[in-house]
Amino acid sequence: MRITRRQVDGLIVCVLLTAAACLFSLFSARMAHHDARIAHGDPRDGPVVVRLSGDLSRKGIYYLPQNTTLLNLLTLAGVDRRDRFDQSTLSRSLAAGQTVTLNAAGNLTLGQMDAADRLALDLPIDLNRATLDELMLIPGIGEATADRIVQYRNTSGPFNKVDDLIKVPGIKEKKLKRWERHFYLPP
């Protein structure tokens, strides 16, 4: 079989288009990753993920090292006049999943991120407090399984350890291994 010049030209065009598509895909993925950074942190900065919100310019998600205090966070965020806050509150170490809100009156409020935010930031949710809707946010947990988890918790009491999920009808070892990183139990 003889290959014509036109077939060779067509093959060259296909190879060039494929190479261009690959290069475009590679560079656009790198650009999207660069633009998607969180404004005030990088997961490599530390395991304590905190949301700072309220009446300030540097609000957002912060990745902080272990044992970072509220005072350290406010300093990092450029909050002036930190002396107006209670010193015992400022010396508290922050934990992953906390929220810190500074309102216009200058009052600080500490709270917890909701389940959707925690899961989006790859933080686990409290197994004993998760609602049916929050459980369904976890990949692989549908309404029926979430309902069985909630029913088990309501009838048998709170879970003592995440591995106790295996006691819920329909949850086997394989599913437990897939889901356990999404849950925690507070001390």
Q: Give the start-to-end residue ranges of the domains of the chain.
A: 1-36, 43-113, 124-184
Nearest to 166 by CA among 157, 150, 177, 154: 177
Residue 26 has pLDDT above 90, yes or no: no
Helix (H, G, I), strand (E, B) or coil at 124: coil
Mean per-residue pLDDT, 14-26: 75
Nearest to 128 by CA among 97, 157, 166, 167: 157
Q: What sign results for the dihedral spanned by CA atoms 142, 43, 101, 67?
A: positive
Instruction: Return mean pLDDT, the chain.
Output: 84
Backbone angles phi, psi at 142, to 5 degrees: -95, -175
pTM: 0.67
Residue 119 has pLDDT above 50, yes or no: yes
Q: Which of 20-24, 61-65, 145-149, 167-171 has the lowest mean pLDDT?
A: 20-24
Helix (H, G, I), strand (E, B) or coil at 184: strand
**Residue 46: Cβ-neighbour burial (10 angstroms; 0-12, 13-18, 19+):** middle
Residue 133 has pLDDT above 90, yes or no: yes
pLDDT tens digits along 89-113: 888 899 999 999 988 777 888 999 9
**Residue 132 region, left (φ>0) first, then alpha (ψ -120 to 50), else beta?**
alpha
Residue 41 has pLDDT above 80, yes or no: no
Mean per-residue pLDDT, 130-148: 95
Domain 124-184 is found in CATH 1.10.10.410? no
Confidence of residue 32 (pLDDT cuts 50, 70, 90): very low
State how far the Cα of 133 lies from the Cα of 146, in Å rounded to an integer: 8
